[in-house]
A and B are shown apart, each in its own frame.
Chain A
Amino acid sequence: MLQDILLLIKKIAIGILVFGVPLAIYFAGLWLVRHVF
């Protein structure tokens, strides 16, 4: 049971990393495009 919960937590963490990094890139990138000029 505990192993399953840890497995799910690890899986969710990887899932967040997989979409969090590109989201940060796009958020920062589009913000920069808007504010540099």
Chain B
Amino acid sequence: MKTSKIGTRPISPDIARSITRDNPASLSPDTTRSITRDSLISVGLYATPIVLLFATCWITGQRPWLHGPAKPVLTFLGPVLTNLSSWGLPAITLAVGLAEFLFGLYDRRWTKNEKILDAVCFVGSKVLIRPAVVYFTLRALPWLLPDQKGVFAWVPFWWGFFIIAVADDLTQYWYHRLHHQVPWLWRFHRTHHSAPYMGMSMASRQNIIYTVFFSQIYLTAALTYLGLGEAALLVTAVKSLITLAAHSSIAWDKPFYRYRVLRPVAWVLERLISTPATHHAHHADSNDDGIGHYKGNFGNMFFLWDVIFGTGIITRKYPSGYGIKHYQQEEWYAQFLWPIFKSRKTGSELSRGGPIVGDAVLAPSHAHDALTPLSHTHDAVITPSHAHLAENNFQPSSTENEEENFSGAVAGHSAVLS
């Protein structure tokens, strides 16, 4: 896989047009409008499984609650999924990561600072954050939702699977999208995008605040507490495997594009779930090549949300470079613990009083021009212009011609983070 040197390319005309210092530290009207519109559509999407369950009960006369708790379905798979969530996914991550290392994926980019950051994020999420989130959520739920434990245990397994799949992944889509589109939220997610490479080493790389307040963890935990735990276990296992594969340097999707007989499958797959090609495009350091789409492709397990909301670009090629053009190799502790610890790099977004640039990717020379005068104020923000959003964010298009249940459910989320 090719990577390009950070900052060797000039700033794109799109980006240049999009950068304005006139914008306040708030959303542009177009972004506000699209977020409002799409969140209203989301209410309907969230409700879809419930409406269909209601219609099924109405039409067929089934009353599943009369039969007590739904029968366990994952009698054999249950222990497998539990093990997958506890040690299986980290083991897979380590094994694939080791292979990537041996094949030289990280040779040019994996500096000491990046190694420490990747390792701290990986171990921190498994050893520190995950147990803490499980512990405190288990303590809080009986207090927040008293006498509601298992109240929806009557929901049949596959209906529960449908509910959790939509609830969990659509919530993660929104959590992720807001961290890109709301300028002051971006710095909590920047750590994940600062990696100038794709692979297992960066799959868990996130700022600690981003990870601790991962919204869908709490939603799925609450639904598990309410009785949908078995379904949550399967959803999180499937989701973790898909998102892990999407971050991987293993281009498992390429055969689907190469062989004619598989192309109809590819057409469905790339619209339904995140493939390595579409998710790598999200991590691209530029949109200039027609492949990168760092201002879209927010989906995690399902790419379908990007298709519905028009935030996706489907590509079958891989970007030539990853990361952030104006990345300053900020200290690992600043990237992991910001805003508790700040970077000492002058002009960095993560420095004390650093600029808020949103997820605009600037070449260093232009970034310097744009950022330096703003580096000591919170008032100035560089955000995408309306024209830029219209061109790159909100036009669905395709460039195909270029080529234990609860803790298990919660744990799956910490395997791969957006």
Contact surface of A with B, Cβ cutoff 8 Å: 3-4, 7-8, 10-12, 14-16, 18-19, 21-23, 25-27, 29-30, 32-34, 36-37
User: Are A26 and B175 in contact (CB-based, < 8 A)?
Assistant: no
User: Are B339 and A4 in contact (CB-based, < 8 A)?
Assistant: yes
Q: Given A18-B174, A18-B175, A33-B57: A26 and B188 within 8 A (CB)? A: no
User: Are B213 and A15 in contact (CB-based, < 8 A)?
Assistant: yes
B:149-199 near A, CB below 8 Å: 152, 154-155, 163, 167, 170-171, 174-175, 178, 182, 184-185, 188
- Give complex CA distance A22, B166 in Å: 10
Q: Output the least CB separation between A32 and chain B (Å).
A: 7
10 closest A-B pairs by beta carbon, nearest first, are: A29-B50, A19-B215, A19-B219, A18-B215, A15-B213, A4-B339, A22-B46, A25-B46, A30-B152, A15-B215
Chain B: residues with Cβ within 8 Å of the partner, total of 38
B223 interface residue, CB < 8 Å from A? yes
Chain A residues, Cβ within 8 Å of B171: 18-19, 22
Q: Given A21-B43, A29-B47: A36 and B54 within 8 A (CB)? A: yes
Contact surface of B with A, Cβ cutoff 8 Å: 43, 46-47, 50-51, 53-54, 57-58, 63, 65, 152, 154-155, 163, 167, 170-171, 174-175, 178, 182, 184-185, 188, 209, 213-216, 218-219, 222-223, 226, 339-340, 378
* 11 cross-chain CB contacts under 8 A: A4-B339, A8-B339, A11-B209, A14-B185, A15-B218, A18-B174, A19-B216, A25-B46, A29-B54, A30-B152, A37-B63
Q: Given A29-B47, A30-B152, A30-B155: A15 and B175 within 8 A (CB)? A: yes
- Give complex CA distance A30, B162 in Å: 13
Chain A residues, Cβ within 8 Å of B154: 34
- Give complex CA distance A27, B185 in Å: 28
Chain A residues, Cβ within 8 Å of B182: 14
Q: Given A11-B185, A15-B213: A37 and B57 within 8 A (CB)? A: yes
Q: Other than the known A19-B215, A22-B46, what 12 A-B pairs have Cβ atoms closer than 8 Å?
A: A8-B209, A10-B184, A15-B213, A18-B174, A18-B178, A19-B219, A29-B50, A30-B155, A33-B50, A33-B54, A34-B65, A34-B154
Residue of B nearest to A34 (CB): B65
User: Are B47 and A11 in contact (CB-based, < 8 A)?
Assistant: no
